[in-house]
Chain A
Amino acid sequence: MVRFLIFLLFSAWAIVSAVGVVTFANPIYVILWLLSCLIAIAGIFFVAGAELVGALQLLIYAVAIAVFYVFVLTAVPWEKAVKKDSHYRTEGILSLPVVLLLYLEMIIVFLLGVVASPEGKFREAMAKIGNAEVVGSVLFTKYFFAFEVVSLVLLIGMIGAVLIGRKESQTYEDDTG
């Protein structure tokens, strides 16, 4: 029961933070709300018993990616941009029925899927030797190829980000010589 109350606390925190992400106008406040939302979701992971994913959520999302967003937000000179309103208000109001329809469809699909969910086989092992060991042993045996492909995707993404972020003059000045 206490666990469920903590879960409700963290989920309310996450939803309030997500509303802040959607509604606030200043991008600095938006990144702070996003950071709050990521920490709350890490709390949900800890309550669910997934310590490894929660810790990696804190380390990678709430530290690395959030700092990356803040860095880009401060590195780009936004005052040169033409200032406009921060939201598409009429489009948002018009798209609201579609979003509600998406909600309804997801509710139906989820509640149908809960009935058909299979029973797990790792619960005893997880209670015995801990969450991180079980996740690691399955990740590095059954999903080892997917793990390596993800590392390759990270490498390609890093190369692509470096190539895209380079200046145009540096890209083409060697062709003239």
Chain B
Amino acid sequence: MKTIPVEAYFVVSMILFGLGILGLVVRRNLITVLMSLEVALNAVNVAFVGADAHMGLVEGQIFALFIIALAAVEAAVGLGIIIAIFRYRYVESTDEITDMRG
């Protein structure tokens, strides 16, 4: 574990997180927005596990487990909301949901 520098984990995590954020901004379809969010969550997991491997701790891995569980909840609730939106509005694009615009 000493052979991999911790900066390498952080750089990979950072690139993945930036790509996830870019996907959140750029994507138009609601489901692909959620998939970009999954990429960003996994980037955070990479940073946690890499810091753990560097420092010899296990707290980061435990938080990674919690993040995986919360990502499952987020996927369930988010996809339920997307199905409800599609059922009432027949839209799949994020700029067509303008009911709460003032």
Indicate whether A and B interact.
yes
- For chain A, the count of residues having a C-beta within 8 Å of the partner chain is 89
Q: B residues near A, CB below 8 A?
A: 1, 3-4, 6-10, 12, 14-23, 25-29, 31-32, 34-36, 38-39, 42, 45-46, 49-59, 61-62, 64-66, 68-77, 79-84, 86-88, 90-93, 95-96
Q: Say if the beta carbon of A167 comes within 8 Å of chain B.
A: yes
Whether A86 touches B76, Cβ cut-off 8 Å, given contacts A18-B16, A57-B68, A110-B10, is no
Kindly supply a per-residue 1/0 record for chain A positions 32-65, scoring 1 wherever the CB is within 8 Å of any chain B CB and 0 otherwise: 0010011001001101111011001100110011
Which residues does chain B contribute within 8 Å of A118, judged by CB atoms? 55
Asked if B93 and A38 make an inter-chain contact with CB atoms under 8 angstroms apart, the answer reads: no
Query: How many angstroms from the CA of A37 to the CA of B56 in the assembled complex?
Result: 26
- Of all A-B residue pairs in the complex, the 5 with the closest CB atoms, nearest first, are A120-B56, A123-B56, A157-B73, A92-B26, A164-B80
Asked if B22 and A22 make an inter-chain contact with CB atoms under 8 angstroms apart, the answer reads: yes
Asked if A15 and B15 make an inter-chain contact with CB atoms under 8 angstroms apart, the answer reads: yes
Query: How many angstroms from the CA of A75 to the CA of B9 in the assembled complex?
Result: 37
Asked if A168 and B49 make an inter-chain contact with CB atoms under 8 angstroms apart, the answer reads: no
Of B9, B55, B74, B80, the most chain A CB neighbours within 10 A belong to: B80
Q: A11 to chain B: closest CB distance in Å?
A: 4
Q: Say if the beta carbon of A145 comes within 8 Å of chain B.
A: no
Pick from A53, A154, A164, A165: contact of B72, CB under 8 Å: A154
Closest to B19 in A: A18
Pick from A30, A80, A87, A157: contact of B90, CB under 8 Å: A80
